[in-house]
């Protein structure tokens, strides 16, 4: 179904970004989310009830809609709101042609020696970037990105915690951890048989040149001189990254966004990693909260390790985070940004 206007879509995005459920505006935004649920899911409710999961092929403004935060029931007497995430897992595809391609079986021989998980986080930044001095950055693309406000100067405080929490769920022989100086572009481009890849780094959307959007890995001090500059941009993923992965997680800000192209969806990092060989990509619709995201990702991987499908693991993690005693994250802002793109099984 294609929504012929953007007012209710914008309202539902507003509830997803609202951080305080006690605010006066929250009930009004919830009502808008309920209207949108009725418009999009209501006509197919009986079919959804009979199904295990939801597959969404979005169009237009619906590319930006956090479906998990659609309101299936507004607050009851106990003050509880029910969202789509409480009902069914969902995943997203850019087109049915792409979905068919993602589901094609791959030769088992290519995956016999695959590492279970490669993790990247807590990259290092040069002093000039940490000080916010764009003119002192030697590499031209880095200097230009900093001038335009695309690059953050501060490290993510919970990035290392996120990586180490996920790695602790796996036997050490099954994971490859790339932290600090080891979290480089070269390491990403050297990945071969790896079933899952996780990035807990800064991400940025370049609205002027969407294929220049990227992930910020460890940036060399001084001119790179034969090394990559530390910005893993969408165009580089298209050109230089080749994977045989069931899942790539872009635990970074706005990593699902890009340029809309008719029939192709949004072209950016998500599409680039699918082209590179990821059956599914978990990515975000807005700038996410670092601490809540670290906890959400630990819950997500715990479900995956227990054998849950990717879409169900994310749904269950989102529900669990809302009542998690370790972090106050009940509002959709903290959990609804993540969506699975590709094969959610």
First-residue to last-residue Cα distance in the chain: 23
Residue 223: what pLDDT?
A: 59
pLDDT at 23 over 70: yes
For tokens 């959610």, what's the residue?
344
pLDDT > 90 in the chain, percent: 39
pLDDT, mean of residues 290-317: 95
Task: Determine phi and psi for 107, rounding to 5 degrees.
Answer: -55, 130
274-288 mean pLDDT: 92
Least confident of 32-36, 111-115, 150-154, 331-335: 111-115
**What residues does 300 pair with on adjacent strands?**
none
- More confident of the two residues 129 and 156: 156
Question: What residue has token string 């005693």?
Answer: 325
- The whole-angstrom separation of Cα 30 and Cα 26 is 6
Output phi, psi for 118, to 5 deg.
-115, 130
Q: Tell whether the model's pLDDT for residue 332 goes beyond 80.
A: yes
Cβ atoms 315, 68 nearer than 8 A: yes
Residue with tokens 């009940």: 330
At residue 158, what are phi and psi to the nearest 5 degrees? -110, 10
Q: Which two tokens stand for residue 228?
A: 């990559």
* Separation CA 303–CA 56 (nearest Å): 22
* Contacts of range 145-152, beta carbons closer than 8 Å, 24 or more positions apart: 145/204, 145/206, 145/231, 148/206, 148/208, 150/204, 150/206, 151/202, 151/204, 151/216, 152/202, 152/204, 152/216
Report helix, strand or coil for 318: helix
**Phi, psi dihedrals of residue 190, rounded to the nearest 5°:** -90, -5
- With CA atoms as reference, report the closest residue to 223 among 298, 137, 319, 129: 137
Provide the whole-model pTM.
0.89
Both tokens of 219, joined, read 């940036």
Nearest-CA neighbor of 189 among 217, 212, 211? 217
pLDDT, residue 4, reads: 36
| pLDDT grade for 7, boundaries at 50, 70 and 90 | low
pLDDT at 14 over 90: no
pLDDT in tens, 246-264: 999 999 999 999 887 766 6
Q: How far apart are CA 285 and CA 17, in angstroms?
A: 10
Residue 163 predicted with pLDDT over 90: yes
pLDDT of residue 284: 95
Mean pLDDT to the nearest integer, 110-123: 80
DSSP assignments along 125-171, one per residue:
--HHHHTT-GGG--SHHHHHHHHTT-S-SSPPTTHHHHHHHHHTTS-
Query: Which residues are CB-contacts of 196 (< 8 A; sequence separation ≥ 6)?
Result: 116, 117, 118, 245, 246, 247, 248, 249
Q: Which of 31-35, 43-47, 141-145, 223-227 has the lowest mean pLDDT?
A: 223-227
Q: Which two tokens stand for residue 100?
A: 């068919």
Output the CA–CA distances (angstroms, integers) from residue 81 to 33, 43, 293, in the order listed.
11, 21, 21
- Between CA 67 and CA 208, with CA 214 as vertex, the angle to 5 degrees is 85
Candidate from 68-77, 290-299, 310-319, 326-335 with smallest mean pLDDT: 68-77
Name every residue whose Cβ is closer than 8 Å to that of residue 44 and which is 6 or more positions away in sequence.
none
The ranges of the chain annotated as CATH 3.40.50 are 103-342
pLDDT of residue 290: 92
Q: pLDDT above 70 covers what percent of the chain?
A: 87
Is the pLDDT score of 186 beyond 90?
A: yes
| 42 has a pLDDT exceeding 90 | no
pLDDT in tens, 190-234: 987 789 999 999 999 998 888 999 999 998 876 556 678 889 999
**How far is Cα 266 from Cα 161, in angstroms, rounded to an integer?**
31
- Among the CATH numbers 2.20.25, 1.10.3470, 3.40.50, 3.30.160, which is that of 103-342? 3.40.50
Does the pLDDT at position 304 exceed 80?
A: yes
pLDDT of residue 82: 85
Chain mean pLDDT for the chain:
84
Which pLDDT belongs to residue 274?
Answer: 92
Q: What local confidence, expressed as pLDDT, does residue 12 receive?
A: 62
């Amino acid at each position: 179904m294609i929504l012929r206007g953007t007012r209710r879509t914008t309202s539902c995005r507003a509830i997803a970004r609202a951080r305080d459920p006690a605010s006066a505006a929250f009930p009004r935004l919830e009502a808008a989310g309920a209207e949108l649920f009725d418009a999009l899911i209501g006509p197919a409710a009986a079919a959804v009830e009979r199904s295990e999961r939801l597959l969404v092929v979005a169009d237009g403004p619906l590319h930006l809609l956090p479906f998990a935060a659609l309101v299936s029931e507004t607050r009851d007497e106990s003050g509880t709101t029910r969202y789509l995430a409480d009902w069914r897992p969902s995943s997203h595809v850019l087109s049915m042609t792409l979905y068919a391609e993602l589901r094609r079986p791959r030769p088992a021989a290519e995956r016999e020696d695959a590492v279970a998980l490669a993790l990247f986080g807590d990259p290092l930044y040069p002093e000039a970037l940490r000080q916010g001095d764009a003119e002192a950055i030697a590499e031209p693309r880095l200097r230009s990105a900093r001038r335009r406000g695309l690059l953050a100067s501060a490290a993510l405080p919970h990035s290392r915690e996120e990586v180490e929490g996920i790695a602790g769920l796996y036997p050490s022989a099954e994971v490859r951890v790339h932290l600090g100086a080891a979290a480089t572009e070269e390491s990403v481009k050297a990945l071969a048989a790896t079933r899952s890849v996780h990035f807990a780094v800064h991400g940025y959307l370049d609205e002027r040149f969407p294929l220049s959007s990227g992930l910020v890995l460890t940036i060399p001090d001084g001119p790179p001189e034969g090394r990559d500059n530390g910005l893993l941009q969408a165009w580089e993923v298209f050109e230089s990254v080749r994977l045989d992965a069931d899942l790539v997680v872009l635990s970074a800000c706005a990593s699902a966004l890009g340029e809309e192209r008719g029939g192709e969806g949004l072209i950016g990092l998500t599409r680039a990693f699918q082209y590179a060989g990821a059956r599914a990509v978990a990515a975000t619709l807005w700038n996410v909260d670092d601490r809540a995201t670290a906890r959400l990702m630990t819950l997500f991987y715990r479900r995956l390790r227990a054998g849950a499908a990717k879409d169900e693991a994310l749904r269950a993690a989102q529900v669990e985070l809302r009542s998690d005693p370790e972090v106050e994250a009940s509002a959709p802002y903290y959990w609804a940004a993540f969506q699975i793109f590709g094969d959610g099984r």
